[in-house]
Amino acid sequence: MLNIKNEVLLRVYLVAAGVVGLAFVIFLRLFQISVKDAPKWEAKSDSLYVKWVDAPSQRGNILADDGSLLATSLPFFDIHFDAKAEGLTNEIFNVQATDSLGWLLSTYVDQQFTPGAYAGWLRRLRDSTDSKARGIRFVPIAKELSYSKAMMVKNFPIFRQGRYKGGFILEQKNRRERPFKILAQRTIGYTREGALPVGLEGSFNNVLEGKEGKQLMIRVPGDVYIPVNDLAEIEPEAGDDIVTTLDINIQDIAENSLLTACQTHNADHGCAIVMEVKTGKIRAMANIGRTPEGWWETYNYAVGERVEPGSMFKLATFMALMEEGALKNFDDKIPVYGGKVKIYDEELVDAVPHGLDSMSIRQVFAQSSNVGTATLTQRYFKANPSLFLAHLRDFGLDLPTDIEVGGEEAPIIKDPKNPKSEWSGTTLPWMSIGYELLLTPMQLLTFYNAVANNGRMMKPYIVQRTERYGEILKEFQPTVVKRSIASKSTIDKANELLREVVLNGTAKNILSANYAIAGKTGTAQLNYHKFRASNGIRHQAGFCGFFPANDPFYSCIVVISEPERGGYHGAEVAAPVFRSIADKCYAMKAELHTPINKNVPNKLMTKQMPSFDAGTVKDMKESLQWLGLDYFKDQEDDKALQEWSVLVAEKGDSLMLKNRIISDKAVPSVIGMGLKDAIYILENRGCRVRVEGIGKVRRQSLAVGTKANGQTCTLYLE
């Protein structure tokens, strides 16, 4: 009996142990699912039914210097319809409502469908027995509507009931727009999915993009996710604005001038940059390239294309020579060997044949003699080429500008101490004329700008501040890179040589009578090996300088690559673009003009002073006082002066105000008067007046003192 009891107890204990063990396993599994793996299963659940998606933020604006919009984000709206929304009852979705909605959609959204067709389509979407419409919960109604039109559609019948009762689903999408279209297109740039960011849009993406919000989306049949609410649960934060230094008017001038030149010369591409001398602000950056579709800003050549600058680099060579004290007198003669010289096994020639055996230093620079420049460089730096390189570093030519738009390539300047530079015996002479080194147009312009700025090198910059709703967040000030790139004497002499190029040198075709220009032309062969061309000769034309030369305000560089007609030299192709930009800037910008009251005026000679001008005493006194001219009276007392007077220039530098007697009955003298006063006096005495000419009365047909009785008096004005 005891054995049976023990056996039963054993079995009970085993069953109990099994139950406890199973419970423990179940508990562990529940713990793993509900606690340890909870995030995993929650994410899985969300992915199947409900999930959070990023709600895009409003991207910040890019503005010009005057506040004009260069790039902005405009909201557009997509409208969808959920015919099986939970709150959309049959009482709401009735025939009259669908007929009205169908008519409105046909009239204001898509006129290719009739009102009846729209109404029938809406009813089929609602019909759960229609196999084609079954399960469709996210039907597109209209895309990319403006805000005003989207709000109009939102108030249509049924739709006005909202998301749950009316099935109305509104999705906002932002689209980047440029009010000035292709103006500064490459400088403004873009950000695109799957592509490298470009320009200001890319460089300042972290400022412009803002912070994304979150919107709850629900999955409906058809594996489509639709927003739970019209608005994001977590509101996105709009991006900040950036204000550039670009001047819309100068940018437009630069682009049009450059485009005209590229079309005229059938060039491959070109660029133009305008910089403010004192600050380094970039006022314009234009890039034009030829494509199968036409002329576009396909690449930022101004910042990203390293080129051999050619003769524009000769300014640096001559300044290095001046820093060594080599060019004390610009009228000294040096040999140019008829424009052709052999250096080792390579022949160096001048671009324009001249046949001269010698030139003055001034002529070598102004006429851009390759032979003269290389001869001088060899004479002073052949024994120590590293000294020449040291001066180039002093000029800041070995440094990138770090302009904000991105994509800048660092300069490449060969170094005799660097084995990888492939320095040879002909490198120095060819480098002196702008070959065997690479610079971007922006880097070369920064150097020229320093010369215009009395030797002070400014960092070029294109963004001056960031803003949020008009409030300044961060401001970028002008930055001095080097306080002086050369001695004052060298800078003054460099300015003299640059003015000589325009006065009597290769760029005399752009000489202006209104203001002075200083600059240097440049023509470079693109496919050469020491001037031995292959596959046809291709050229690059350039001009770099500043204006007005006596008090520089803007510096500018123009580079045009591969012109095919109408010449290829810098003077023929690039310099006229510079002149076009400078002319329009000079006409448009008052700050470029010398104020008329800046200098103290010299006293006028008798023949230059106003003489024999007549009018009322009151007008004459006010005019003389406004002009700051002293005068004398032929009467000691002001009261003795009658109503009409005449101003007469006396000997020396004095003016005399005299009475003019005006008779009530006789024809008076109106000579010297303006037409208004003359007509007033004569018509008040009964005379008719006839006028010839413009100006003041210099002669009258009726003699003074003639009895006035209605005659016609002809006034001759000059």
pLDDT at 600: 60
Whether residue 126 sits in one domain with residue 32: no
Q: Residue type at 664?
A: D
Q: Please check whether residue 340 is in contact with residue 354, taking contact to mean a CB–CB distance below 8 angstroms.
A: no
Residue 709 in this model has a pLDDT that exceeds 70: yes
Both tokens of residue 425?
Answer: 């015996």
pLDDT at 132: 56
Q: Please check whether residue 482 is in contact with residue 280, taking contact to mean a CB–CB distance below 8 angstroms.
A: no
**What is the domain-level CATH number for residue 368?**
3.40.710.10
Q: Percent of the chain beyond pLDDT 70?
A: 85
Residue 321 in this model has a pLDDT that exceeds 90: yes
Residue 242 in this model has a pLDDT that exceeds 80: yes
Residue 537 in this model has a pLDDT that exceeds 50: yes
Q: Which of 610, 612, 619, 616 is nearest to 698 (CA)?
A: 612
Phi-psi region of 166 (alpha: psi -120 to 50; beta: other; left: phi over 0): alpha
488-504 and 314-323 helices cross at what angle (nearest 10)? 140
Whether residue 212 sits in one domain with residue 139: yes
Q: What is the DSSP string of 702-717?
A: SPTT-B-SS-EEEEEE
- Tell me which of 225, 244, 263 is where a domain ends: 244
pLDDT at 561: 95
Evaluate whether residue 658 is within a structural domain: yes
- Span 542-548, average pLDDT: 96
Residue 635 in this model has a pLDDT that exceeds 70: no
Q: Report pLDDT digits (tens) over 275-299.
A: 999 999 999 999 999 988 888 888 8
Q: Please check whether residue 226 is in contact with residue 82, taking contact to mean a CB–CB distance below 8 angstroms.
A: yes
126 pLDDT band (50/70/90 cuts)?
confident
Whether residue 654 sits in one domain with residue 527: no
Evaluate whether residue 373 is within a structural domain: yes
Whether residue 215 sits in one domain with residue 130: yes
Q: Look at the pTM and tell me if it is higher than 0.75.
A: no
Whether residue 256 sits in one domain with residue 239: no
Q: Please check whether residue 704 is in contact with residue 681, taking contact to mean a CB–CB distance below 8 angstroms.
A: no
221 pLDDT band (50/70/90 cuts)?
low
- Tell me which of 568, 592, 616 is where a domain ends: 592
What HEC string does 96-108 produce?
Answer: HHHHHHHHHHHHH
**Long-range contacts of range 693-696, CB-CB < 8 Å, 24 or more positions apart?**
693/717, 693/718, 694/718, 696/613, 696/672
* More confident call, 517 vs 655: 517
Share the mean pLDDT of the chain.
84
Q: What is the DSSP string of 21-75?
A: HHHHHHHHHHHIIIIITHHHHHHHHHHHTEEEEEEPPPPPPEE-TTS-EEEEEEE
- The Cα–Cα gap between 674 and 335 comes to 68
pLDDT at 533: 45
Residue 530 in this model has a pLDDT that exceeds 50: no
Phi first, then psi: what are they for 63, rounded to 5°? Answer: -120, 155
Which residues contact residue 442 at a Cβ distance below 8 angstroms, ignoring those fewer than 6 apart? 273, 302, 303, 401, 403, 408, 460
pLDDT at 354: 82
Whether residue 213 sits in one domain with residue 188: yes
Evaluate whether residue 124 is within a structural domain: yes
Both tokens of residue 316?
Answer: 């640096």
Residue 233 in this model has a pLDDT that exceeds 70: no
pLDDT at 189: 83
Which residues make beta-bridge pairs with 655? 649
Q: Which of 565, 420, 462 is nearest to 203 (CA)?
A: 462
Residue 636 in this model has a pLDDT that exceeds 60: no
Q: In this structure, how many other beta carbons lie within 10 angstroms of the beta carbon of residue 705?
A: 11
Residue 325 in this model has a pLDDT that exceeds 60: yes
Residue 301 in this model has a pLDDT that exceeds 80: yes
H-helix or E-strand spanning residue 125: helix 115-126
- Span 550-576, average pLDDT: 94
Whether residue 713 sits in one domain with residue 612: yes
* More confident call, 61 vs 88: 61
- Span 120-144, average pLDDT: 72
- Tell me which of 533, 566, 592 is where a domain ends: 592
Q: Report pLDDT digits (tens) over 410-452.
A: 999 999 888 888 898 889 999 999 999 999 999 999 999 999 9
Residue 60 in this model has a pLDDT that exceeds 50: yes
Whether residue 111 sits in one domain with residue 7: no
Residue 170 in this model has a pLDDT that exceeds 80: yes
- Span 31-59, average pLDDT: 67
Whether residue 284 sits in one domain with residue 182: no
How many domains does one find in the chain?
4
Whether residue 236 sits in one domain with residue 256: no
Residue 53 in this model has a pLDDT that exceeds 80: no
Evaluate whether residue 401 is within a structural domain: yes
pLDDT at 239: 86
- Span 218-228, average pLDDT: 62
Whether residue 442 sits in one domain with residue 335: yes
212 pLDDT band (50/70/90 cuts)?
confident
Q: What is the DSSP string of 143-211?
A: EEE-HHHHHHHHTSTTGGGHHHHH-EEEEEEEEEE-TTTTTTHHHH-B--TTS--BHHHHHTHHHHS-B
- The Cα–Cα gap between 433 and 451 comes to 18
Q: Please check whether residue 317 is in contact with residue 433, taking contact to mean a CB–CB distance below 8 angstroms.
A: yes
Whether residue 684 sits in one domain with residue 645: yes
Q: Percent of the chain beyond pLDDT 90?
A: 38
What HEC string does 490-537 produce?
Answer: HHHHHHHHHHHHHHHCCCHHHCCCCCCCEEEEEEEECCCCCCCCCCCC
- Span 486-504, average pLDDT: 96
CA torsion angle 20 24 25 31 (round to 10): 160
Residue whose structure tokens are 């070029």: 460
Q: Report pLDDT digits (tens) over 349-391.
A: 888 888 888 999 999 999 999 999 999 999 999 999 999 999 9
Evaluate whether residue 601 is within a structural domain: no
535 pLDDT band (50/70/90 cuts)?
low
Which residues contact residue 148 at a Cβ distance below 8 angstroms, ignoring those fewer than 6 apart? none
Containing structural domain, residue 451: 251-592
664 pLDDT band (50/70/90 cuts)?
confident
